[in-house]
Amino acid sequence: MTAKPPVVDQDTWRTALDDLRRREKAATRELDAIAAQRRRLPMVELPAYTLTGAAGPVRLADVFDGRSQLITYHHMWNDGAQWQCGGCTGFTSQFTRLEFLQNYDARFVIVTNGPIEEALAYRERVGNKMDWYSAAGTSFGADVDAAPGEGFAVNVFFRDGETVYRTWHTNGRGTEQLSHSFALIDLLPWGRQEEWLDSPDGWPSRPTYSGWLDSPDIARFYGKDSARVQ
């Protein structure tokens, strides 16, 4: 039988919650301090890259679409594959309403090193709502720590007129701060249920990633041809 949290009286539960809450509040204050340090980061000027969008070649400065700030998620890519990285596909499927960034003079898009035709077809297949661009044939991916055949990455850029600067970068678990899915799962009594976690004895545990939705799952739920995906 799967283990469950112990049952206690209301006062005992409240004491344990208050103890945890002190750590949660301390973590919030630390995240505030990290954000303050991030706002003080210097930036580095970039060359005038030209990417490819749905309408053809587009300068990186124009990917901002008139805004001053840009977030990019570099989607892992294998040319010609029917299904791309499940982690990237699931992660980016969360972002369906990005209009709020307009009030912050910002935009958030996907960049991939794959051909734009494949990228746009995949976007439709899995029902992704973001704007996609291709860096194929350029050094942009490699220059922002997301070279072809390597991992995913989040980068942030600032535009001053025609000049673009790189201000921030993360990859790996650093991208979790952008995800609401992990935040929700971590609130649950059993958490992510992955074997690397520090959990009480008897908690359900399975191989890492095994609970994640894969690319065909995303297509089945959201894609244009979802009724035909098996």
- For the stretch 46-64, pLDDT in tens is 999 999 999 999 999 999 9
Q: Is the pLDDT of residue 224 over 90?
A: no
Q: Are 196 and 173 in contact (CB under 8 A)?
A: no
Cα angle vertex 71, ends 116, 214, to 5°? 60
Which residues, including other chains, have CB under 8 Å from residue 179's CB and lie 6 or more apart?
91, 94
- For the stretch 167-200, pLDDT in tens is 999 999 999 999 999 999 999 999 999 999 999 9
